[in-house]
Amino acid sequence: MAIKILVVDDDNYIRSFLQKRLTALGFEVSLAENGEQGLEVAQEQNPHLIISDWMMPKMDGTEFCRQIKNHPTLKYAYFILLTARDSAEDKIEGMEQGADDYMTKPFNDKELVARVNVGLRITALQQELSKFQH
């Protein structure tokens, strides 16, 4: 089964770059332009990991994250918030909304891939643990 990653960003260049990079690593990548569209795609695709921009039209990344983390089937998706906002207060706000990780733009490509791999390991462990809870 392919690992599904959802990239949500209103910047076409960022979406395209991440799609090419993550697809080259063997991941199945879906795209959305804002949080509203991202929520629809997430409900259809049930991704293992979500990379989302913070500042987007219609629904920003923190509200999108909050809705994902409150959704019964999507709440275990690992959520990386990607943003130009880099103050400690911003990081705290992002994490309080449920983000599992936080990266500032411009981001280092290798660091992002490393964080994706860590997120996927954590997601796999959560899935293993959930098998024993039922």
Q: Which two tokens stand for residue 129?
A: 């643990």
What is residue 1's predicted lDDT score, i.e. its pLDDT?
67
**CA 97 – CA 119 distance, rounded (Å):** 17
What is residue 47's predicted lDDT score, i.e. its pLDDT?
96
Looking only at Cα atoms, what is the longest distance across the chain? 43
0.85 cut: is pTM over it?
A: yes
Which pLDDT tens digits describe the chain residue by residue (134 residues)? 689 999 999 999 999 999 999 999 999 999 999 999 999 999 999 999 999 999 999 999 999 999 999 999 999 899 999 988 777 887 888 888 889 998 988 888 899 999 999 999 998 888 788 778 75
Q: Which two tokens stand for residue 101?
A: 């990780």
Q: 83 - beta bridge partners? A: 104
